[in-house]
Amino acid sequence: MSETKGERRYFRTTQQVKDWKTLARAADEVGDNLPCRQAPDLYYAAMNETQHIRYAKKACQPCPIREICLQYAIKHNEGEGVWGGMTVSERKNVRRQLKAEGKL
């Protein structure tokens, strides 16, 4: 996977690049069957589009890489979209709790 100019701006740390590559490899192993690859717009729906968000959250549950996806989004404070079955605000709550416990 090559890094584009846009990706360099998106990634803040070398660790984030490594974690992204790990996630991307796992996603590529699953391929086009990933729910978020079948309906990507639903995963970045506006917060008032509750039906889309609900659909995306539900579709994530059986995803074979949900755990690694969620860990990436929480660890790197992904600021948009549904990742690993959680919205931005849900992930922020988890981050807050992990920080309070000294785990992040």
92 Cβ contact partners less than 8 Å away, ≥ 6 residues apart: none
11-23: string of b/e by CB count within 10 Å (b at 16+)? beeeebbebbeeb
Determine if 72 is a binding residue for ligand SF4 (CB under 6 A): no
Determine if 45 is a binding residue for ligand SF4 (CB under 6 A): no
CB of 5 to ligand SF4, least distance (A): 24
Max CA separation in the chain (angstroms): 37
Determine if 34 is a binding residue for ligand SF4 (CB under 6 A): yes
* Whether 72 contacts 78, CB under 8 Å: yes
| Interface size with ligand SF4, residues (CB under 6 A) | 14
Determine if 86 is a binding residue for ligand SF4 (CB under 6 A): no
Q: Which residues bind ligand SF4 (CB under 6 A)?
A: 27, 34-36, 43, 59-60, 63, 65-66, 69, 83-85
